[in-house]
Every structure is written in C-alpha cells, then in structure tokens.
Amino acid sequence: MKTLWSDTNAEKITNDPLQLRVYSSRLLGQSPELVLHGGGNTSVKITEKNLFGEDEEILYVKGSGWDLATIEAEGFAPVRLNILQHMASLDQLSDSDMVRMQRAAMSNPYAPNPSVEAVLHAIIPFRFVDHTHADAVVTITNTADGEERIKQVVGDRVLIVPYVMPGFILAKKIFEMTRDINWADYDGMVLLNHGVFTFDDDAKASYEKMIRLVSVAEDYIAAQTTAIACADSNVKTDLQLLARTRKKASALRGTAVYALSDNSPESYAFASLDNVDTIASRGPLTPDHIIRTKQLPLIIHENTGHDVTEVDEYADAYRAYFDRNADAHQHCLDPSPRWAVWKKQGLISFGTTLKEARIISDISRHTIKAIQLAEQLGGWQALPEKDLFDMEYWELEQAKLNKNKKHPEFQGKIALVTGAASGIGRACVEALLEKGAAVAALDIDPSINGLFNRKDVLEINADVSDDTALKNAVEKTVQHFGGLDILVTNAGIFTANENIEYMSDDTWQRSMDINLTSHQRLMKYCIPFLRHGIDPAIVIIASKNVPAPGPGAAAYSAAKAGLTQLARVAAFELGKDNIRVNTIHPNAVFDTGVWTDDMLEGRAKSYGISVDEYKANNVLHTAVTSKNVAAMMCAMAGETFAKTTGAQVPVDGGNERVI
C-alpha cells in the first residue's frame, strides 16, 4: 500500500489541526482496502477557548453518518476530552447512557453524534488517532491461528487486543489493558477480527504508521498465498430466476428491493468453487459489515430452475439463528437476504436503494477476496455466531437502521419508459426518478446516451420497431436492476396528415408499426418479468384522437385506437397476475419536440388568437404540459390506482369533443 500524503498539500493547512485531520481522514477514506463505505473513524485533540475564555481540551471525532472519503470539518463532533476520559473509568455504562453522556459533553450541540468509539479515542494519549478496518489485517486475524499470525506479522510495537464489542466495552477493555504500559512503545493496535488503530502527535506520522502496518500485512499475505482465480463467465443469466428471487426477497423485506447481479471474473470464479457453500457461510469480513450484509449470504444452486424455495429456506434459517441468540425483549429483523452467491453464476446484492445495493456489492467483493486468501492461510474463520448476533442486534446499530424510515413511493422499483429522450417520455422518466424509481430510458434518438447521466438511469438507444432490439432492451433492464415493475409504453410518431383516399401505404404501415405493433411486442417481452414485479403496472400513452379523431389523421387515430383496445384486452388477461393496465389520452401537450414555435404560431393565427390562448384552448382554459401527463402516469403506476385497471383517463384540460 502506497502513501497518498502530499507535503505540499499538507503545508497549506499545517497550522489548522482540524483541517489536517480532515485531509488525512480523506486519504484513508480514498483506499477501500482500508475504509469501506462509512467504516473506520478518526480524531484529533485540540485545545480551544470556551465561552469563559478558559482553555478546554476538545476531542474532534468522526461524527455518525459521515464517510471518511468525503468528510468535512463539520463532520467531526467536538466532545470535551476530560468527560470522555472519566467515562472510561466507570465500571459499567449502558449504550444509551454512553450516547447521552457523549452528546451532553459536546461543545457544539448542533454537530453530529460522536462515533461510538469516542471514549477509546479519548484514552489514547496522542493528538491524532486513526482507525480502519484494513482488509489485509482482518483477513489474517480471520483464520484459525490468526492471533499468532498477526503477532508474527506486526511485531512488538503493535498491541494485540482480543475481540470485544465496539463502544464502551471495547474502550473499557483497552483502558484496563493499558494501565501500566508506556504508550510511546507502541505504534498501533490490532483489534482481532475488527481492525487497526494507529496514533501519533503528528498527522502525517499517524497516517503513515497505518500505511506501513497494513503494507506489512499485505506483503505477508502475498508471500503466503497464490493469486486468486478469475474466470470469464459464458453462462447466460437466468433472468426469470433473478426476477423471482428479487420478488421473494422484496416480500420478505416488506418493501421493493433491487437485485444487482455481479458476473465479474472474480465473482464468477468464487461462485464456481466446489466448496463455496461452506466457505461463504462462515460469517462476514468484519462485524461492522453485518448491519448491511447480515450474518450469511443466500446460496442459490445452479440447477434451481425457476424455483425460489431457497429464499424461504434462508428466511427460516435466519429466524432460527435469531431464536438461538435473542433475548426476550428483542424483535426479529426482516429475514430477507442482503447478498447471494449464485453458484456457477456470480453474486447478487439486494438493496432498497441502488446505493445500498452497490455498497453491499462492494462489501461482498472484498469479502470473497478475503475468504479465499484466508483459506490459503489455514482456513477462513469469522467470529462466533453469538458475537455476530450481538453486533447485528446492538441497539446502536439498530438506531442506524431506524433512521429515515420514510422513503419515496417508488423506492426500490424498476421502470421502463419508451420514447424517453423528449416530451412526455422524458417527463415520465424524471417523475419516476423523483419518486425514487430506477428507470431504463429507451429511445431511437442517439441523444438518449448521456441525457440523464445518472446511476439510477439505464440509457438504451434502440428502435421500438426492431423486434430484436426491443427484446434485448427488456432483458438488459432486468439484468441491470434485477426485475421490472412499471412499464410506460409511450414511444410514438405523428404521421403525415393524409386523407384515407390518398394515403400512402408507407404512412399507414409506419403508424401501425410504431404506434401499435411495437407496443404489443414490448408488452409481450415485459409481461413475463412484470408477473414477478412488485405491484406491477402498465401505463399506456394513447391519444385524444381515440375518443375524438379528426380528418386526415386516420393512420395515427386508428393505431392509437388499436393500442387502446390492446390495453383493454391486456387488463382482462393480466388481472389474474395482479398486473394493472391503464391508459392516458393526452391532448394539446405543446412542450414536446413535435411542436415548434412556427407551428404554434401558425395554428394560433389560424384561430385568430395568441399562442398562449391557443395553448389554453380547452374547457379549463389551462395549458397542459408533459409534467401533467407524467403526474397521471405516476398516479396510475402507484398507490392511487392500486385498485384500478382498464381505465382510460384524458389529460387535456377538458376537450369539448371528448366530453
């Protein structure tokens, strides 16, 4: 591991210890082998003047909820050092009392809650303290003879601490262990199965001690092991099984989740190991990960077919694990898996948000690497089950889970929108995103690529009249997010204004191909996945021309009428699968690419009114926008229309001919 320290950058803030703390914390956070998604914590001790002009020793320690990779000065909680040190001398202290006392000891009540390791940071008599969950160190300690190995690796200047629960118990343990030691004789501490501490009065020295200590562990592993196998997967993902597994995981969790599959060479090789069932089922890399990953992954066997009983078996095993370890006052968390090893395929990570799923995916990749290395060091051995349970059900960890219980309506859901590059389609994508969905945005216009530039949007450049491209787009959506819940079939064209007598064959056929047939084919490919969706819904964007056609629009009107009839039949056919099918008939939606300024001016002039008057030429005298149509789409896809199917709703400001 290489140091990232820059004397040039550090010199700019050398007189500001808190900014130095921010700088070196970010260096640690930039290395996922040290700190992964919010793990680890750092601190600095600073003498400050209080309101009475008296000197006061303050411990600035990482605040709860902040990530070292991006932390700012306000991410550190200022706590009075003498109170924290006095807390360490107590014989007992409950978690809730510890949190309350730390909070009461803060010099700024508006700062975030201090890390649960604040007391431990306080008793280490150095200005800068760094704590990471370094993969290499934890990998070595997660072996049968891990304590002896790590002693051999790090030498006498590192204190070895047996595993105990984080928080006050850990601080008390180290307080007692270090009563009679000379701290200057040590560069750091290794907490078995947990992580590493380094410390110094100089920020650079503490940081570089961490780098050296972890580098020694990495070198030891490299010398004792061979390269981990990688293998390219030629196996086609069973997308039906993926969607079914996601649905079952969502049901067990009580909310929609994403299911991100990882078929990378590393993940595929791990999932193809003969003993993967055994080695993957011994526990997490560190107990800190258990709040995200649970104790064990789901194991999906390669010959499962479309059966998902393994998810139910996982849930039963989790409940049994709870029953073996729980106290009478504890309540079982949801038994849904957070990640899976899909044998001969790869890994899957489940999350109610894409961020959560990707964090779990990152943790899983680090875990499978550590498992394979530890197996070569004598055998992977995580903490005993009871220790892991106590960490998972620790009240301070549970408090993190209970934050932000409210979530957007479509969080965890997956939508596919066609004609997504402009107008109504684009507004539908934006509305779905605002309500928390992940969206596959499809359009024939190449501008769709890079249009949204978000991780929760899969941009697909495809022609809906190309059957193969359409099928591939649906499969790509399921492969990317894990399933499909909402279909907004919107893509369409306005054909030339031609009377029936003089209409070209091309005008008629082109309208039928795009405005009708492509929708039928899209539904055909989506229905097998919607059947395993979460509260699945199809919303079809038709037209005012269905109830109120006009001359010269036969090709367009007939296709949209056929589309509406298709939706009605689909509502009948899919009702047994609880798939709702509803239709919107927009009219006079002028904020689309079809309506140019010249066209609007020409139409308004022909009526002898202004452009604004023309836009509001309806019963309500109001302009209708793409956002209005998108809002109705969200209502139809969501709870508002939960008991409605086969409906047709105009969004037109009130059209006299329709009424």
Mark whether 197 and 275 lie in a shared domain: no
Query: The whole model's pTM is what?
Result: 0.93
Q: State mean pLDDT over 50-55.
A: 91
Tell me the average pLDDT across 182-199. 96
Question: Residue 409: inside a domain, yes or no?
Answer: no
Indicate the pLDDT class of residue 403, thresholds 50, 70 and 90.
Answer: low
DSSP state of 256: -
Total domains present in the chain: 4
Query: Are residue 438 and residue 550 in the same domain, yes or no?
Result: yes
**Within-domain flag for 387:** yes
Confidence of residue 592 (pLDDT cuts 50, 70, 90): confident
- Please indicate whether residue 556 is annotated as part of the active site: yes
- In DSSP terms, 439 is beta-bridged to 415, 457
One-letter amino acid identity for 518? Answer: S
- Any domain includes 645: yes
3-state secondary structure labels for all residues of 296-337: CCEEECCCCCCCCHHHHHHHHHHHHHHHHHCCCCCCCCCCCC
Number of residues that this document lists for the chain: 659
pLDDT band at residue 114, thresholds of 50, 70 and 90?
A: very high
Are 95 and 187 found together in one domain?
Answer: yes
How is residue 544 annotated by DSSP? Answer: T
Mean pLDDT, rounded, for 37-45: 93
Q: How many Å is the Cα radius of gyration of the chain?
A: 30
Average pLDDT rounded to a whole number, residues 235-244: 93
Query: Contact, 279 vs 370, CB < 8 A?
Result: no
pLDDT digits (tens, 9 = 90+) for 442-451: 999 999 999 9
Q: How confident is the model at residue 604 (pLDDT cuts 50, 70, 90)?
A: confident
In a domain, 229, yes or no: no
Tell me how far apart the terminal alpha carbons of the chain are, to the nearest angstrom.
Answer: 72
In a shared domain, residues 596 and 577: no
Phi-psi region of 436 (alpha: psi -120 to 50; beta: other; left: phi over 0): left
Q: 341 and 297 in contact (C-beta within 8 Å)?
A: yes
> Residue 139: inside a domain, yes or no?
yes
The answer to whether residue 657 sits within a structural domain is no
Q: Which of 201, 224, 247 is the last residue of a domain?
A: 224
What CATH number has the domain bearing residue 283? Answer: 3.40.225.10
Q: How far apart are CA 348 and CA 338, in angstroms?
A: 8
Residue 332 near residue 268 (C-beta atoms within 8 A): no
Buried b (16+ CB within 10 A) or exposed e, 468-495: eebbebbebbbbebbbbbbbbbbbbbeb
Residue 346 lies in a domain: yes
- Given 378, 401, 424, the domain boundary residue is 401
Q: Could you give the percent of the chain with pLDDT greater than 70?
A: 98
Question: Which CATH number belongs to the domain containing residue 637 in this structure?
Answer: 3.40.50.720
Same domain, 557 and 617: no
pLDDT the model gives residue 557: 96
Give the model's pLDDT for residue 479: 97
Q: What is the mean pLDDT of residues 587-611?
A: 85
Mean pLDDT for all residues in the chain: 95
CA distance 14 to 408: 44
The pLDDT, as a whole number, for residue 303 is 66
Average pLDDT over residues 240-268: 96
The residue among 401, 424, 452 that closes a domain is 401
> Does the pLDDT at position 7 exceed 80?
yes
Catalytic residue among 23, 556, 607, 614: 556
Return the pLDDT at 521.
98
Question: Same domain for 635 and 598?
Answer: no
Would you place residue 496 in the very low, low, confident or very high pLDDT band (cuts 50, 70, 90)? confident
Q: Is the pLDDT of residue 635 over 70?
A: yes
C-beta pairs of 8-13 under 8 Å, 24+ apart in sequence:
10/203, 10/204
Instruction: Please state, as a whole number, how many other Cβ atoms lie within 10 Å of the Cβ of residue 336.
Output: 21
- Contact between residue 428 and residue 420 where contact means Cβ atoms under 8 Å apart: yes
d(CA 204, CA 438): 42
pLDDT at 482 over 90: yes
The answer to whether 506 touches 483, Cβ cutoff 8 Å, is: no
> Residue 304: its pLDDT value, please?
61
Separation CA 76–CA 356 (nearest Å): 24
Residue 267 counted as domain residue: yes
The DSSP letter of residue 616 is T
* Residue 235 pLDDT: 82
Picking from 368, 352, 387, 163, the residue whose alpha carbon sits closest to that of residue 252 is: 352
Q: Which of 375-384, 534-543, 590-599 has the lowest mean pLDDT?
A: 590-599
Taking only the tens place, the pLDDT of each residue in 208-235 is 999 999 999 999 999 999 999 888 878 8
- Tell me, yes or no, whether 162 and 262 share the same domain: no
Q: Residue 597's pLDDT band (boundaries 50, 70, 90)?
A: confident
Same domain, 616 and 636: no
What DSSP character marks residue 183?
G
* pLDDT, average across residues 526-539: 98
What does residue 116 show for φ and ψ, rounded to 5 degrees? -65, -10
Spatial separation of the C-alpha atoms in residues 624 and 252, rounded to whole Å = 41
Question: In terms of residue numbers, what domain contains 11?
Answer: 7-224
Q: Are strands 339-342 and 346-351 parallel, antiparallel or unpaired?
A: antiparallel
Q: Is the pLDDT of residue 341 over 80?
A: yes
Using one digit for the tens of pLDDT, what is the confidence trace for 312-328? 999 999 999 999 999 98
The reply to whether 548 and 606 lie within a common domain is no
Q: Angle at the Cα of 509 (from 440 to 588), degrees rounded to 5?
A: 60
Q: Give the pLDDT band (50/70/90) at residue 308.
A: confident
Same domain, 499 and 394: no
Please check whether residues 525 and 615 belong to one and the same domain. no
Q: What is the mean pLDDT of residues 22-43?
A: 94
Same domain, 217 and 348: no
pLDDT band at residue 305 under the 50/70/90 scheme: low
Structure tokens that stand for 35 in this block: 């700190």
